Structure 1
Amino acid sequence: MKLTEKQKRFADEYIKSGNATQAAIKAGYSKKTATIVASQNLTKLNVKNYIDERMRTIENNRIMTAKEAVEFLTSVVRGDVKETVVIGTPMGAEEVEKEPDVKTRISAAKEILKRYPDNDKVMEQQLRKLTAEADMAEARVKEYIEDSSDYDEIHLVFEERQKKGQDNED
């Protein structure tokens, strides 16, 4: 079912103010019945759907997407974005457009890499090294346990250490 012109004005005013009664009055409903009409309008499915759709559109236009954020960071790294700085000259202060400095570009590059950890070869190598070290330590403990006559005692110590490690993570 389609909205009437008054319902559409009501919904648009409601989105602006968040006050249903005032939205009804501004949309052209009587002041005497504004509260009742506002309440009824907010329960009508077509009005509610219109408000929800408009809110999604507003939200989508206001909030930067992840793609937009990465594109912006990329433009900073490449020096495409300029910033205005004020510098002192013999004639006084002057505004100048300049490219981002190296520190800013490095920071933007790091932010991009955080979003793509699979592409970071250093991080990949560090993860492989840590995994290998953990596997080797576990193998040494198992080998020691198998060779030891004090199997039960060593097993308990190993379990306690594992539990402490889990407790520290929490």
Structure 2
Amino acid sequence: MTEKKKLTLKQQKFADEYIISGNATQAAIKAGYSSRTAASIGDENLRKPAIKQYIDNQLEKLQSEKVASQTEVLEYLTSVMRGEMTEQTLRGEGEGYQTIDNIEVGAKDRIKAAELLGKRYGSWTEKHQVEHSGGVTIIDDV
């Protein structure tokens, strides 16, 4: 079993800055390395396995936290289509007062969700996939 090498504070700051900017030289400068040697230090740091692993792990976390998976999108569209979702709307109470009400998602939104799901599963396409294993002969007799 391999032991993880712990990063120094400067290396972690470098890695965090690199994730933000994608620029190793600027990340090295912001992490506190000399601007004179920042380019070579930045390049060197990106080749260190512990720093590279830290960057890869952080990017993977960001990816999974910020981006909806295909399953999540399909589940959401399905719940909209089935009318399981509500949306908020303002309702006037008179004298300038308003309250927030939860209402069912409208038919247009449910239809749109159904269309998007249909597109995903190829239900609405008029194109046909044709496979051909033989050769193609072009005759130019003009």
Structure 2 gaps, min length 5: 129-137
Equivalent residue letter for 1:47? I
What is the TM-score normalised by the length of structure 1? 0.57
1:107-131 alpha-carbon deviations (Å, 9 max, x no partner): 21222233234xx6xx7xx99xx9x
What is the TM-score normalised by the length of structure 2? 0.66
Q: How many residues align?
A: 126
Does residue 118 of structure 2 align to residue 100 of structure 1? no
Taking only aligned residues, the RMSD between alpha carbons, in angstroms, comes to 3.3
- Residue matched to 1:77: 81
- Residue matched to 2:131: none
User: Separation in 2 of the partners of 1:47 and 1:115?
Assistant: 39
- Residue matched to 1:64: 68
- 8 Å contact kept, 2:7–2:51: no
Give the number of the structure with larger relative contact order, counting CA–CA contacts within 8 Å between residues 6 or more apart: 2
- 8 Å contact kept, 1:3–1:47: no
- Residue matched to 1:2: 5
1:3-42 alpha-carbon deviations (Å, 9 max, x no partner): 5323232111211233323322333434443332112212
Q: Secondary structure at the match of 1:52?
A: helix
- Residue matched to 1:154: none
Does residue 19 of structure 2 align to residue 15 of structure 1? yes
Bigger helix share: 1
- 8 Å contact kept, 1:82–1:98: yes
Equivalent pairs: percent with the same residue?
42
Q: Which runs of 4+ in 1 moved over 4 A?
A: none
User: Separation in 1 of the partners of 2:18 and 2:36?
Assistant: 18
Does residue 29 of structure 2 align to residue 25 of structure 1? yes
1:62-88 alpha-carbon deviations (Å, 9 max, x no partner): 221110001111221233322222344
Structure 1 gaps, min length 5: 131-158, 161-170
